Amino acid sequence: MVRDSGGSVQAVNGIAGNFLLADTGISNATSAAFSGSAGLIKTDTEVLVLDASYLVTARYDAASGPALFAFDGSREPALAYYSGTLFRFDGGDLVAVNWSGDAVAIALAGPRSAAVLVRRDDGLWNVRVSLAGGEIENEGLLAGVSGPAALLSDGAVVYMDGNDVVVRDGDGVERRVAAGIAVDYFEPMGKDWLAIRELDGGRLFALRVRPEGLDLYRVPEVEQ
């Protein structure tokens, strides 16, 4: 599932490198994420939860603006971040965590913790936050990482370095694939997949992240 340049949510079908898009009927999306089992959409007024068939199963009122999302190990909704505040999904409720900051990416770091990439004056920091009380459990500066970034469920950081998309694991080991683009944002689009939007509303790409390597594909879009 991806968000197209007009804010409509599209189901991605086909095989790698030969994608076909199908409109889900969901529009006005400012952010989107899909785990392969569930979807999360942010519109100007709501956060929507989707099932694997792209049907809305829950909705929550929310202020306008973009959002970040994360899923748990079962690929179910776990975290959301918007309006400067981190939230956790707790059963049928979306509960605010007592933490706020300028988050760039989020992930579930354990059953009681969130990993948050936080933008500060001196760069991006990887911060571990307690979901119970919002306390910072530990933090570290991410050397060499600036602009848009993403966090994978295993703790790896995805970012741009020159012309390359880089996936850096928790031990600092990096894997790269040439892209040659300036990135606006990363969004989860399925199990092992990240959507990458080129800056200034440019082209849409799909990054496949697997132990055996990284693959980057162009995603076709309907002209708006």
Per-residue pLDDT tens over the stretch 141-151: 998 898 899 99
Given a cut of 90, whether residue 17 has pLDDT beyond it is no
Answer yes or no: is 33 within a domain: yes
Answer yes or no: is 51 within a domain: yes
State pLDDT tens for residues 109-164.
999 999 999 999 999 999 999 999 999 999 999 988 988 999 999 999 999 999 99
Nearest 5°: phi and psi at 24? -85, -10
Q: How many domains does the chain have?
A: 1
Instruction: Return d(Cα 12, Cα 30) in angstroms, integer.
Output: 18
Q: Which two tokens stand for residue 24?
A: 């889900």
* Domain region containing 48: 2-219
pLDDT of residue 212: 86
Given a cut of 90, whether residue 32 has pLDDT beyond it is yes
Q: In the predicted model, what is the mean pLDDT of the chain?
A: 94
Answer yes or no: is 65 within a domain: yes
Q: CATH no. for residue 158?
A: 2.120.10.30
pLDDT classification of 223: cutoffs 50, 70, 90: low
pLDDT of residue 80: 98
pLDDT of residue 147: 81
Answer yes or no: is 189 within a domain: yes
State pLDDT tens for residues 53-85.
999 999 999 999 999 999 999 999 999 999 999
Instruction: Return d(Cα 211, Cα 167) in angstroms, integer.
Output: 11
For the chain, give the percent of residues with pLDDT over 70.
99
**Cβ proximity of 107 and 118 under 8 Å:** no
Answer yes or no: is 224 within a domain: no
**Cβ proximity of 1 and 54 under 8 Å:** yes
pLDDT classification of 222: cutoffs 50, 70, 90: low
